[in-house]
């Protein structure tokens, strides 16, 4: 699969806006081109046209480029879980959350594909990605309990939602996939209904 590389001119103004966005794009490009371990913070800063000090104002280390959106990621799920109708079943909550997240993710596919490729090849990043999913399950479980859903239903629902999301996401970022996240999410939900019927 070809990778679109955005080259940054070395004379780019140090004060040009969106340094965080440029650093994130530069990092993922370099990780794909050279590998995560072979890319330094200096390389990323140079590609983005900023100083290393600017990099560290936005990210604590080069891994953080992949995980800096953790709060927003969790909020996509939690907002739907919290706002679901009071009489919604646990399966309905899973459906609502998955469909909402699928819509949010669709424009992010190029970034998601490249990000996933790098994470898959790096054990440390892969471990951190799994930890992120565990934290998501914990947060969703807490939100469900706040809705009055007892255990073990709250934890089972959180596990189900995150597992279906993860399987759908991995299908979505595969090379050669032509389906939208929403189409894959719907197919995953249909498979889930068969399993629990």
pLDDT range class, residue 169, cuts 50, 70, 90: very high
User: Is the full-model pTM beyond 0.85?
Assistant: no
Kindly report the three-state secondary structure assignment for every residue of the chain.
Answer: CCCCCCCCCCCCCCCCCCHHHHHHHHHHHHHHHHCCCCCCHHHHHHHHCCCHHHHHHHCCCCCHHHHCCHHHHHHHHHHHHHHCCCCCCHHHHHHHHHHHHHHHHHHHHHHHHHHHHHHHHCHHHHHHHHHHHHHHHHHHHHHHHHCCCCCCHHHHHHHHHHHHHHHHHHHHCCCCCCCCHHHHHHHHHHHHHHHHC
Q: Which CATH class is domain 19-65?
A: mainly alpha
pLDDT at residue 15 in the model: 42
User: What mean pLDDT comes out for the span 160-165?
Assistant: 95
pLDDT of residue 2 exceeding 70: no
- Residue 148 is predicted with a pLDDT of 94
**pLDDT tens digits, 119-149:** 888 888 899 899 999 999 999 999 999 999 9
Which residue ranges make up each domain of the chain? 19-65, 69-196
Report pLDDT for 165: 95
Supply the pLDDT for residue 67: 81
Q: Which residue has the higher pLDDT, 121 or 89?
A: 89
CATH topology classification for 69-196: Tetracycline Repressor; domain 2 (1.10.357)
């Amino acid at each position: 699969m070809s990778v679109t590389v955005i080259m940054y001119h070395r004379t780019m103004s140090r004060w040009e806006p969106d340094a965080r966005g440029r650093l994130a794009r530069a990092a993922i490009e370099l990780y794909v081109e050279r590998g995560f371990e072979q890319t330094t913070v200096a390389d990323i800063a140079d590609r983005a046209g900023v100083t290393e000090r600017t990099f560290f104002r936005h990210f604590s280390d080069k891994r953080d480029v992949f995980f800096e959106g953790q709060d927003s990621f969790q909020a996509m799920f939690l907002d739907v879980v919290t706002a679901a109708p009071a009489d919604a079943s646990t399966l309905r909550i899973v459906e609502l959350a998955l469909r909402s997240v699928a819509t949010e993710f669709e424009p992010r596919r190029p970034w998601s594909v490249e990000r996933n490729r790098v994470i898959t090849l790096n054990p440390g990043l892969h471990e951190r990605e799994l930890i992120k999913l565990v934290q998501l399950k914990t947060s969703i479980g807490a939100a469900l309990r706040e809705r009055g859903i007892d255990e073990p239903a709250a934890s089972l629902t959180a596990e189900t939602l995150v597992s279906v999301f993860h399987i759908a996401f991995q299908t979505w970022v595969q090379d050669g996939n032509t389906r939208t996240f929403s189409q894959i999410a719907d197919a995953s939900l249909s498979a889930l209904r068969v399993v629990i019927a």
